[in-house]
Structure 1
């Protein structure tokens, strides 16, 4: 059944404004994506299936867009002022301001859509999907050009300044696709699964990987510079419009500002320590927006690194009480998608309360991937450990769960002990 699009009044959303900054609060789940329009409007997408259009000047939520049947993984702004949203339901929606339903829905992907990009001339929309493909959609209408070549989830897509599409995936492949059909693609295999990429000036690309590294590559695939940006997987990147800075964020909450020319560290931004899933600079390059697992969009002064908005404390960190617990630190990468307590709802993933002894795909009310429903798996300390040893894509093929592994035996054991203690039903 097709889910009917709905529109929610913005008046029911909360926002906080302080001298020098605004915090955008209104999402009911982690903020997965941010895009900023030239006039200072932003759109955010969340695991709560919603996209929200905001005024960055006032913090007002102007429109709430409900259409997708699953988390909104990607958002974009078209040159004509329209917005684009894409989700784990495999659909892409194009919106006009003030309309209660998408003006156009793009269908063709068979897996979650994870990233969007608009070509420099505004004529083409690119989408990346876990169905292993990239699609190039003419904004004016018409069939998509399907690009096949990845062997696994495609996590990121962008365009170089000359219009060349590029994509990166879990297969560790970075592919520069030809602008014209028939030409050969340039493929670069890097040492780690790739999560995110962004175009830089000079037809260069910055790519972030599961090893915490940020690498900059030239158009021919040559690596020009690299830096250990975080100690956990880099999950999102953003480049400032003036070409000076590159922002990188990790799944454990680290945010670092780099010089876009040589990747020299400029400053660290001290957030609440929870996963940061999305980054975007304002058009003037003076402010960086960050969105993460605490459902809040924050603003940062790029030149000083100062947080603009309400004072952050450890009270916003749901794992603050477990400081020093190795298992809790391992679980930090999971908390964006899973809750532990019986009174908490499902998020992007099902609640883990009572997980041990439970059959896979059996939590009431959660929409599981079809592939999981016929699997004969019962969650035990051994099976959960195996999941993280070999990775979700291998152990539970067809899952929506982001790919991640824990290779260290002691860290996996600590995670299991933490889950046994915090998810028990007695």
Structure 2
């Protein structure tokens, strides 16, 4: 193996270094934001899913990209590790692909959802895969293939899924509810109303269940469906959760505070990871709980040391902060969650979403070269400060049904006003 490895380019125009030597190890290869990370049970490989419509299987020993998986029509929102070295990926196309390392095509494809799949969870016995979709349904699939059983109860998108050790499934929805579904049942045994939507769920090995709230609070939920602990982690939304095998820490990504290590013994934040200001959307522990893989707006997945909170030496490149060019704009922080998908400069073109250069006064779905959905192409919307504001009041799925845009709202009028000011200042530059 040489020091650089083989350069593999695929039909999307992306190129990946396959077989890079260990001392050059970086989880670097995605062309867009990283949405999800999962680590195999033996901690030898990991899979990442991205806005660039690919999933990549990595060696965690060397950091090399072992396989680039091309199947989904659009962004890959969620990945999960399966038994026998297999993985599952799902995304905006509503399909779930089951992968085996070394095979270029999925060994099976699970179809049934009518909307994007945004959550996956593997049952403790490894025989059932749960999927949650924006179509407001949960499906339980026998592995590696078979007909699914459908669970209904949430009013709107499913945000997160996790299994408890006894096989009970926990689900969280955009409707601000958490439900508990006993194994082999089609009716939830518990339905808990939360103050805000729960964006992520995680089960600790000892059976404790935690939910990450849009209000910046981490909540512990017991088997009766009651909140037994509420912990302020951030002043902004919590995005993702990961649990360590030693039951000592939860990793929590917060839009405004990066990654916070939460101590499960003291029920307090232990330290923040130095993520250099980039929003983190995906987390996974590795190294027996001694390290964390994190990805988000930076397409490079980094590794952080749990004890020090610093980036690990073997991934010691400085993390790109895409917002650095707007440091002189006091409203720039309002755009942080958007920059992974949208450019502002006329020369940078489209990313996962169309460029926002010249957005005001432009009719929806008219940027050259961007593959808009038929639903958007038929809409009669002109982007103005008022219509952009309404988009984030109602959320993309309600204001622009059929959009590929990730579901999100901005509830604070001051935050919406800051975003509008930023766009007015930055999208009209020549």
**TM-score w.r.t. length of structure 1:** 0.92
Quick one: which of 15, 23, 27 aligns to 2:26?
Answer: 23
The residue aligned with 2:147 is 143
Change (3 A) 1:347 1:252: farther
Does the alignment pair 1:396 with 2:400?
Answer: yes
Does the alignment pair 1:12 with 2:17?
Answer: yes
Cα shift at 1:344: 2.1
Cα shift at 1:311: 5.0
Cα shift at 1:84: 0.9
Structure scoring higher RCO (CA < 8 A, sep ≥ 6) equals 1
Query: Which range moves more in the overlay, 226-235 or 210-219?
Result: 226-235
**In 1, Cα distance between the equivalents of 2:169 and 2:83?**
18
Aligned 8 A contact 1:226 1:263 in 2: no
Quick one: which of 164, 178, 182 aligns to 1:174?
Answer: 178
Aligned pairs for 1:314-333 (under 5 A) are 316-323=320-327, 325-333=329-337
Cα shift at 1:302: 1.2
Does the alignment pair 1:121 with 2:125?
Answer: yes
Aligned 8 A contact 1:172 1:190 in 2: yes
**In 2, Cα distance between the equivalents of 1:372 and 1:7?**
23
Quick one: which of 281, 285, 303 aligns to 1:281?
Answer: 285
Cα shift at 1:229: 1.4
Change (3 A) 1:168 1:182: closer
In the alignment of these two chains, the number of paired residues is 419
Q: Which runs of 5+ in 1 are unaligned?
A: none
Does the alignment pair 1:386 with 2:358?
Answer: no
Aligned pairs for 1:407-418 (under 5 A) are 407-418=411-422
**In 2, Cα distance between the equivalents of 1:111 and 1:246?**
30
Instruction: Give 3-state SS (helix, strand or coil) of 2:288's partner.
Output: coil
The residue aligned with 1:376 is 380
**In 2, Cα distance between the equivalents of 1:269 and 1:7?**
33
**In 1, Cα distance between the equivalents of 2:282 and 2:14?**
25
Quick one: which of 207, 218, 231 aligns to 2:211?
Answer: 207
Cα shift at 1:126: 0.8
Please list the CA deviations of residues 303-329 of structure 1 after superposition, one character each: whole Å capped at 9, or x if unmatched. Answer: 222211455658x21222333634211
**In 2, Cα distance between the equivalents of 1:371 and 1:260?**
46
Instruction: Give 3-state SS (helix, strand or coil) of 1:25's partner.
Output: coil
**In 2, Cα distance between the equivalents of 1:228 and 1:417?**
30
Cα shift at 1:240: 0.3
The residue aligned with 2:6 is none
Aligned 8 A contact 1:15 1:25 in 2: no
**In 2, Cα distance between the equivalents of 1:324 and 1:366?**
30
The residue aligned with 1:37 is 40
Instruction: Give 3-state SS (helix, strand or coil) of 1:23's partner.
Output: coil
Aligned pairs for 1:207-356 (under 5 A) are 207-252=211-256, 254-282=258-286, 284-309=288-313, 311=316, 316-323=320-327, 325-356=329-360
Please list the CA deviations of residues 256-301 of structure 1 after superposition, one character each: whole Å capped at 9, or x if unmatched. Answer: 0011245311111111211101000115111111011110111111
Query: Which range moves more in the overlay, 390-399 or 414-423?
Result: 390-399
Change (3 A) 1:11 1:33: closer
**In 2, Cα distance between the equivalents of 1:84 and 1:313?**
30
Please list the CA deviations of residues 223-276 of structure 1 after superposition, one character each: whole Å capped at 9, or x if unmatched. Answer: 121212122211100000111110000234511001124531111111121110
Cα shift at 1:406: 2.8
**In 1, Cα distance between the equivalents of 2:244 and 2:11?**
34
**TM-score w.r.t. length of structure 2:** 0.91
Change (3 A) 1:371 1:253: farther
Q: Which runs of 5+ in 2 are unaligned?
A: 1-9
Aligned 8 A contact 1:339 1:351 in 2: yes
Cα shift at 1:336: 1.9
Does the alignment pair 1:158 with 2:126?
Answer: no
Does the alignment pair 1:58 with 2:53?
Answer: no
Does the alignment pair 1:81 with 2:82?
Answer: no
Instruction: Give 3-state SS (helix, strand or coil) of 2:417's partner.
Output: helix
**In 2, Cα distance between the equivalents of 1:141 and 1:407?**
41
Cα shift at 1:182: 5.5
Please list the CA deviations of residues 124-161 of structure 1 after superposition, one character each: whole Å capped at 9, or x if unmatched. Answer: 01111111111110004321011111111111111101
Query: Which range moves more in the overlay, 115-124 or 248-257?
Result: 248-257
Please list the CA deviations of residues 107-140 of structure 1 after superposition, one character each: whole Å capped at 9, or x if unmatched. Answer: 1111111111111100001111111111110004
Change (3 A) 1:137 1:273: same
